[in-house]
Structure 1
């Protein structure tokens, strides 16, 4: 019995001495694994606190419409704008200015007239050009000699034009009030004229012949004014 017990004890000791210890590499891997697990646990704890704070802040912002005095003071100390202050300054309204009415040049008319319906021998007709603003607002109109023409005809015969021997041509712009008129007079010497102020020997006939006076201002032409020369 004593020998068998000793043999068993020696076998156990020999068996325990035959167990190999872990190498240094195994120890390093175990330490790295333990350290990684600890770091992961710390990250999860910190993330949990951050998520909890975010959800608490979101629920508070959604449920409240006015910032508390504590929140306003904290925002002011942090340099953040207060929620109650306007983001941009309000602009004062600009007064509306009514547009200036535009003159309708189509309502500016030209008429022709003579001082008498008929003239005896030796009487010279006075031809009158009249410009009238028939609109409701003032109109600027060029009534200079560059625009005017006093034209006398008899049927298809062109008797006289004030432009044929016109010495000078100039512009004269005037503002004509609504309903107002401007007039220009031209004494006609009962003579003929030709383009370029060429000399014309013949004179218009008398003896009760009828003539037509047309007043022109630029592209505007008046209705015909009929008169008689005796």
Structure 2
């Protein structure tokens, strides 16, 4: 025969179980807050202790420096430096006055010495001021005319000459260079030579030229020397009375050895 025994355990509903969990959670939170409050309280007490120790050390340090005297103010030091500057300025002024008097006496002595030595100094200055005679520049030497300087030509007053007419000739020379040059001997070095074929007939310088001074020909200048051929045959001598026969003759001029082109002279009678 079986006996039925009732179980003493009661079943808890879900609602009651949830409430119990919430209460447990609240208790746990309360405990945590309590712990946090205790920690904060302890930390505050530590800070108060440190501030108290800091104040005590500050008072101790103040007591340690209580025996020191107060530092002088800036105004007092400025007044003292001003006094020292005034005293040094007065001393320097006295020194300047003494040096100025010494300099004045030295200047007076120097002026007296300069006045005594003034004539000799003026004489030396005059001697220095007088310029020494500068050497005169030597005049540039003018060279003799050459073929690079002169252009020579000869002309006649007529191409033909009848009986009794003497050919009138003109020797012209021009300095074509940019510098002056010298025709040595003047008219002595102006010559006319006349030939008939290869035969020598007449030479002006041989019998009729006269000694003259050198003649300077400026750059670009032109000179003309007129001559007359008297038809003499002076190849036979300057005193000959022989004259030329009718025919064709060639005349050439030269100046300083520079010759012209020949021209033809026709003698008809």
TM-score by length of 1: 0.48
Higher RCO, 1 vs 2 (CA within 8 Å, ≥6 residues apart): 1
* Largest Rg, 1 or 2: 2
Greater strand proportion? 1
Greater helix proportion? 2
